[in-house]
Chain A
Amino acid sequence: MIKIEKLHKSYPIGKDSLHVLKGLDLHIKEGEFVSIMGSSGSGKSTLLNIVGLLDNHDEGNYYLNGQLIENLDEKKAAILRNKFLGFVFQSFNLITYKNALENVALPLYYQGMARKERQEVALQYLDKVGLKDWANHLPSELSGGQKQRVAIARALATKPKVVLADEPTGALDSTTSESVMELLKEINNEGMTVFVITHEEDIAEQTDRIVRLKDGVIISDERVDKTVKA
């Protein structure tokens, strides 16, 4: 589903440039539940931005759903994001003046779906994250956990190939984090590829595969032994 070969990325800082990703190789298959672990500055957010087509890479190859990503203009990137990717952010990134239902329906609007159908689909996904009764509430009327659930519903609404979650529990307390992770697991069990970025060990351990990143290099890539944990 996601295949990365010798990926490089650096950011210009004044006259110098900061080399953030130093030749990553990573292959994530369909249906995997993967977490990227690393401290801040390890390059994990940069990796997610590149995978999420929110930023472009300098060198190396990136295949999304078998398609080589290169020379992307904003328009193509927008269409691919809309079609293949669903985002869940640490700070939720809901549109403040739209209610839960409208937030979930927004990516469908950009897909060109008719209004009525859009609302039906959005409601169905809100129901899936247990927030059907909160459809008409504004984000400011929801708790942090509820906001993240709305964001997850929004990420799922377009039936993407991959859900990308950037520190999805970073702004949540442990109980709420637990329920959000449960939700992500559930989604994964239904066959969705889920790609989580985190710096919390206990969050990473709930996924099936942990890729550890340090200073722009992958230092380990191992499967989590569920049996031990259980």
Chain B
Amino acid sequence: MFDLDRWIEIFQTLSKNKLRTVLSGFTIAFAILLFTLLFGIGNGLKHTFEEQFKGDAQNSIYIRSGRTTKPYKGLQSGRRIQFRNEDSKFMNDKFSEKIQFFSPNIERFNVQAIYKGEQNSYTVRGVYPDYQALEEAVMEQGRFLSVLDIKNKAKVVAIGRLVEKDLYGQLSALGKNITLGGISYKVIGVFSDPGGDNDERFIYTPFTTAQGIYKPNDEVDRYGLTFNPSLSVDQALSFSNLLTKLLKEKHNVDPRDQRAIRVQNYAEGTKNVEQFMGVLNIIILFIGIGTLVAGIIGISNIMVYIVKERTKELGIRKALGATPKSIIGMIMMESIFVTALAGYAGLLLGVFTLNALGDSLEKYFILNPSVETYVVVGATIILIIAGTVAGYIPAKRAARIKPIVALNDE
């Protein structure tokens, strides 16, 4: 029930006791402000790490070949290892249950791409349809490469969003032609990639098409695959170790040779990142709870002090006919009003500061520091409840004191 008289009474008490009001308001506002800032900065750290490790599927494994660095089985070092189509078949046959997506890969850097008057050079990759999942590319228009494209060695390409922007400007590239190294292709799709600008400047063509154009025979530059997500991190690591071992055997590479065949398993990094994020989450949670507790203790102290200070006034009010209920109600409403208002102010200030910071702290590994609304609103509500409880206990005691004792309080 809205009681105007009561609110007038409360506003008067608050405005005539400015120090008290400011003190308790400041405690709450400051607690919420600190909470928001610390939480936001913690989230900023988290965002940085998430950003660093996104862009490719977290269960990816990339396999590259190079020159041997150790002589083995009578073969000299410095021999170049070359993957061929048979290696693709070998891996698929051997590990069909452990592999989720698989794509051999042919890569050509600095390929001249022309559309009408515009031209630029890009990296062209010949891949299987599975490669879309490996890069976590998202189709903006059209489609990615299909099995049929592979089979037909079709002259089609899926291009990155930025390639479209560079060459086609505001127009849609879909269905238009693009000339790559003098050969004309049809654009069947435009994709975006969470991995960022570099990943959005790739051009994908069917693997078979690329192999036919860029390779004299059935050579493969590298492999990308993802392991079955049901594998644990340790299982994934032992899978990639076995894969490396078998490939080295197959190509007569010394098992200790680190250069000839390189297998990069994201699971290793993922494991470290997940542990790190876990610790970071705990720290953030700890800081948040700590700030809240400090705020709760602060407001409780102030409420006890306020009620103590007002003992005599409350005694007078009781002598004049205030019931215990009205005394408790008055103190609680004041307390809730001040904490809610100050909490809201602290929340706004905190969110505003975080927004103003934006990405300016990026070099300190703090990216887009922000707090979820429900977290800060929740924290504010907790403080309001704490302020209410903190006000209720001394208010109840004050209301129970005999007016004569309260009146003698100096």
Chain A interfacial positions (CB closer than 8 Å to B): 49, 52, 54-55, 74-75, 78-79, 81-83, 87, 89, 93-98, 102, 106-107, 109-111, 115, 154, 158
Contacts and interface: CB of A to CB of B under 8 A. Distances in A.
B324 A115 contact: no
Interface in B50-109: none
Given A89-B407, A95-B316, A110-B326, A74 B400 contact: yes
Contact of A97 (B8, B13, B318, B404): B13
Interface string B305-317: 0000000110111
B17 interface: yes
Contact of B317 (A75, A83, A106): A106
A81 B404 contact: no
Contacts of B12: 97-98, 102
Of listed A52, A89, A95, A102, residue having the most chain B CB within 10 A? A95
Interface residues of B, number: 28
Contact of A75 (B17, B324, B404): B324
A110 B320 CA distance: 8
A2 B135 CA distance: 94
A99 B268 CA distance: 74
A176 B213 CA distance: 116
B321 A110 contact: yes
A54 B320 contact: no
A94 B312 CA distance: 10
A94 B322 CA distance: 15
B29 interface: no
A54 B402 contact: yes
Interface of B: 4-5, 8-9, 12-13, 16-17, 312-313, 315-326, 399-400, 402-404, 407
A110 B321 CA distance: 6
Given A82-B320, A89-B407, A95-B316, A74 B399 contact: yes
Contacts of B404: 49, 54-55
Nearest to A76: B323
B323 A79 contact: yes
A113 to B, nearest CB: 9
Given A74-B400, A81-B320, A107-B321, 10 more contacts: A54-B319, A54-B402, A78-B318, A78-B322, A81-B318, A82-B320, A87-B320, A98-B12, A109-B5, A110-B326
Contacts of A158: 321
Contacts of A81: 318-321
A82 B321 contact: yes
Q: Is chain A's interface secondary structure helix, strand, loop, or mixed overall?
A: helix
Of listed B4, B17, B326, B403, residue having the most chain A CB within 10 A? B403
A184 B234 CA distance: 94
Nearest to B312: A93
Contacts of A109: 5, 9
Contacts of B321: 78-79, 81-83, 107, 110-111, 158
Contacts of A106: 317, 320
Nearest to A166: B407
Given A55-B402, A109-B9, A115-B5, A87 B319 contact: yes
Of listed B16, B312, B319, B326, residue having the most chain A CB within 10 A? B319
Of listed B8, B320, B322, B400, residue having the most chain A CB within 10 A? B320
A89 B315 CA distance: 12
B320 A107 contact: yes
5 contacts: A54-B402, A74-B318, A74-B399, A78-B321, A95-B316
B171 to A, nearest CB: 71
A95 B9 CA distance: 13
A78 B313 contact: no
Top 9 A-B residue pairs of the complex, sorted by shortest distance between their CB atoms:
A82-B321, A97-B16, A110-B321, A107-B320, A54-B404, A78-B323, A74-B324, A75-B323, A54-B403
Nearest to B324: A74
A110 B8 CA distance: 14
A54 to B, nearest CB: 4
A81 B322 CA distance: 9
Contacts of B407: 54, 89, 93
A186 B76 CA distance: 127
